[in-house]
């Protein structure tokens, strides 16, 4: 019987985002691919330590509870390793008791081409090139940055998003970049009743919302937040857009250009997605952060 992921949240992740592969990657950078392969085979029974996105993946898989017959979430490994060197990754998955059973090993080739084949709603990687190609193909994707991941004891999965060029298109951000804040504010006030077009992460947010909708709001295992540099009067269009999409967002912070890091720490985000490097640099001092190289800020 064919397996169907249509009703699941599917997250694809690279091995370097899931595990700490800095030591072996340094071997690759210093001595080349053959030395890297030999190193991984020699250490294939030595478990890899958790990487930046490991706590996120653990919480995603925890959404399944004991329901392994019909899980809500599927995590797929997309790795540039070969199957031979990838054995260490699978051994580490087993060691850490992660229910990840499907993988693609491409031996140096870009992995993004398998995102639609697996039906992934989100792709996380430490390789910016793979992420850019995934975004160009219309998939939600982010580069996992080296981050300070503070211990989060809450069992609830908490995900925070920037707005423009992430949840929404960059149509308004282009006006801000090209014409300034005054023109941006005037445009958003005039278009307050016109929904923004969706950005690359609209589908991922919708998939999270579908899981949330199965629970009373006070019992949801997922909590989401919009943390944006927008402020009044540009807030109204955002609120009306989410209402038009019929997508729930639990918290909305309109910061008017303030640094986002302290607010993400207060929210307790397991991960934050933003298109602008400056915001990512503030965020990654406190929480796992994914840079979304999309839109006018990245041109």
> What's the confidence (pLDDT) of residue 3?
57
Segment holding 34, helix H or strand E: helix 33-42
Asked if 6 is an active-site residue, the reply is no
Residue 149, in any domain of the structure = no
162 and 287 together in one domain: yes
Residue 99, in any domain of the structure = yes
pLDDT in tens, 214-236: 998 789 999 999 999 998 888 99
> What's the confidence (pLDDT) of residue 66?
77
What is d(CA 128, CA 125) in angstroms, rounded to the nearest whole number? 7
Q: How many domains does the chain have?
A: 2
> What's the confidence (pLDDT) of residue 6?
64
- Exactly one of 121, 130, 162, 164 is catalytic; name it: 162
> What's the confidence (pLDDT) of residue 22?
86
> What's the confidence (pLDDT) of residue 5?
62
Q: Which long-range contacts (CB under 8 A, 24 or more apart) does 214-223 make?
A: 217/248, 217/250, 220/156, 221/62, 221/63, 221/155, 221/156, 221/157, 222/63, 222/156, 222/157, 222/158, 222/159, 223/156, 223/157, 223/158, 223/159, 223/250, 223/251
105 and 165 together in one domain: no
182 and 77 together in one domain: no
Last-in-domain residue among 96, 120, 144: 144
102 and 170 together in one domain: no
> What's the confidence (pLDDT) of residue 49?
94
Q: Is the pTM of this model over 0.75?
A: yes
Residue 139, in any domain of the structure = yes
Residue 150, in any domain of the structure = no
Last-in-domain residue among 144, 166, 187: 144
Residue 39, in any domain of the structure = yes
> How far separated are the first and last CA of the chain, in Å rounded?
45
pLDDT in tens, 120-144: 999 999 999 999 999 999 999 999 9
Q: In sequence order, what E strands does 64-202 have?
A: 73-79, 102-105, 122-125, 141-144, 157-161
> What's the confidence (pLDDT) of residue 139?
97
133 and 212 together in one domain: no
DSSP line for 266-288: HHT-SEEEES-HHHHHHHTTTS-
Residue 1, in any domain of the structure = no
Q: Is 198 helix (H, G, I), strand (E, B) or coil?
A: strand
Domain that includes residue 224, residue range: 157-298
For residue 114, the domain's CATH number is 3.40.50
Residues lower than pLDDT 70 in the chain: 1-6
What is d(CA 91, CA 75) in angstroms, rounded to the nearest whole number? 16
> What's the confidence (pLDDT) of residue 62?
94
> What's the confidence (pLDDT) of residue 156?
95
> What's the confidence (pLDDT) of residue 1?
41
For residue 233, the domain's CATH number is 3.40.50.1000
């Amino acid at each position: 019987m064919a397996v169907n992921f249509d009703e699941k949240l599917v997250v694809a992740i690279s091995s370097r985002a899931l595990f700490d592969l800095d030591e072996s990657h340094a071997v690759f950078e210093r001595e080349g691919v053959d030395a890297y392969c030999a190193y991984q085979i020699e250490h294939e029974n030595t478990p890899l330590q958790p990487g930046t996105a490991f706590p996120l993946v653990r919480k995603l898989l925890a959404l399944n509870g004991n329901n392994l017959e019909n899980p809500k979430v599927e995590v797929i490994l997309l790795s540039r390793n070969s199957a031979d060197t990838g054995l260490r990754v699978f051994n580490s998955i087993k060691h850490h008791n992660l229910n990840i059973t499907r993988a693609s090993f491409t031996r140096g080739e870009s992995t993004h081409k398998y995102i639609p084949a697996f039906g992934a709603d989100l792709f996380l990687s430490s390789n910016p090139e793979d992420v850019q190609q995934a975004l160009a193909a219309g998939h939600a994707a982010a580069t996992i940055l080296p981050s300070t991941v503070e211990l989060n004891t809450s069992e609830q999965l908490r995900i925070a998003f920037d707005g423009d060029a992430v949840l929404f298109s960059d149509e308004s951000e282009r006006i801000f970049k090209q014409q300034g804040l005054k023109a941006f504010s005037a445009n958003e006030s005039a278009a307050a009743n016109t929904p923004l077009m969706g950005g690359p992460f609209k589908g991922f947010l919708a998939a999270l919302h579908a899981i949330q909708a199965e629970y009373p709001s006070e019992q949801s295992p997922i909590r989401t937040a919009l943390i944006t540099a927008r402020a009044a009067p540009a807030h109204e269009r955002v609120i009306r857009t989410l209402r038009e999409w019929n997508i729930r967002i639990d918290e909305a912070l309109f910061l008017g250009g303030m640094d986002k890091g302290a607010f993400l720490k207060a929210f307790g985000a397991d991960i934050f997605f933003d298109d602008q490097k400056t915001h990512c640099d503030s965020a990654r001092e406190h929480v796992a952060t994914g840079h979304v190289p999309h839109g006018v800020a990245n041109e």
